[in-house]
Structure 1
Amino acid sequence: MSLSLLLDVVIVALLVPTIIYAVILNNRLASLRKNRDALAKVVHSFNEATVRAESGIPRLRRAADEAAEALAARVEKAHGLRDDLAFMVERAEELADRLENALKGARGEVRPSPGAALAQTPAAVRKPAPAEPDTAPAPMPTPTLARRAARVVPGESLSPRLDGEDADLPDDERSEAERALLQALQSVR
């Protein structure tokens, strides 16, 4: 055999796998072109979603800031109410102790009040009372309530306007606790 024939056979043998590989490659490139359109649609919808998300971020921040401000205002108001309630409870306990002592004093059963025990303690031992922040102390109730409560007799009027005692004391000079206590004592009769 001649050398040229042998060389032609080798070239044919090498061209057959090359042609097969080219056909396979062409099929893959065709499917890639088809998928390229679908991929472009996916990228486009992803870009639109990103733009919507970015435009929503400032609105979300504003809403969060407004909610935080509203919550801070409510918390501040709640702290103020808590302090007011604590002060009112403390004042009510003091007033109840004074009223109880006045009633027992009228009956002859005197019990020293916590304020009297504090007054008997030496000044070096006493601790100063902590100041209430941002709250003004309530006006002290007038001592006429304790005098009136000590003399309560069933069927007797508790109103100063009716029984003549402190008739010149208008309702606005009485503390709210005094007015409420007078009403409660009158309703018990």
Structure 2
Amino acid sequence: MDWKVALDIVVSLLLIATIGYAVMLNSRLSALRKNRDDLAKTIINFNEATVRAESSIPKLRKAAEDAGHALQERVEKAQSLRDDLAFMIERADTMANRLENSVRSARTDGKASAPTAAVSAAPGPAPRGAAGRAAQQAAIAAAAAGAEQESDERSEAERELLRALQSMR
């Protein structure tokens, strides 16, 4: 064989290998282009989602602030009601103790009436100290004695109230 023919065979083999490599490279490039288009679509969708999220952040912040203010108002109202209820419970407990003491003293003393000055001191605010308490208890005892004389219905209601208060303790 001639060296020209051998050289032509080698060149043709190399050309066949190059053509095969070019075909493989072309298929990979087409797959990359397809993936690039998919990636571009994904990036566009991600960008749109980011824009929507950024636009909704102020709305969420305002909604959170409104909810916080409403919650704070409710907490303040609840604290006010709690304080009022605590005061009422304290006053009711004090009055129940006074009523119980007056009923006890009225039962032990009989149906004696108290001085008018002690009766006039009963409706006012609670005096401080042992002397004030004693005066109020005497006034309540007198009021209870007068109440027992008024009617049996009220007496029964007072007894039920005392039973309920005692069962609560």
Task: Provide the TM-score with structure 1 as the length reference.
Answer: 0.58
Residue equivalent to 1:12? 12
Residues 161-188 of structure 1 show CA distances to partners (whole Å, capped at 9, x for unaligned) of xxxxxxxxxxxxxxxxxxxxxxx94894
Q: How does 1:1-189 map to 2 (within 5 A)?
A: 1-108=1-108, 140=125, 146-153=141-148, 156=150, 185=154, 188=157
* Aligned residue-pair number: 133
Query: In the alignment, residue 125 of structure 2 is paired with which amino acid?
Result: M
More helix by share: 2
Task: Provide the TM-score with structure 2 as the length reference.
Answer: 0.64
Shift of residue 145, structure 1, vs aligned partner: 5.6
Shift of residue 59, structure 1, vs aligned partner: 0.5
Instruction: Name the Cα RMSD after superposition.
Output: 2.9
Measured in 1, the distance between the counterparts of 2:83 and 2:141 equals 27
Identity %: 53
Measured in 2, the distance between the counterparts of 1:3 and 1:24 equals 31
Unaligned runs of 5+ in 2: 110-123, 128-135, 159-169
Residues 104-142 of structure 1 show CA distances to partners (whole Å, capped at 9, x for unaligned) of 111117xxxxxxxxxxxxxxxxxxxxxxxxxxxxx6269
| Secondary structure of the structure 1 residue equivalent to 2:103 | helix
Unaligned runs of 5+ in 1: 110-138, 158-183
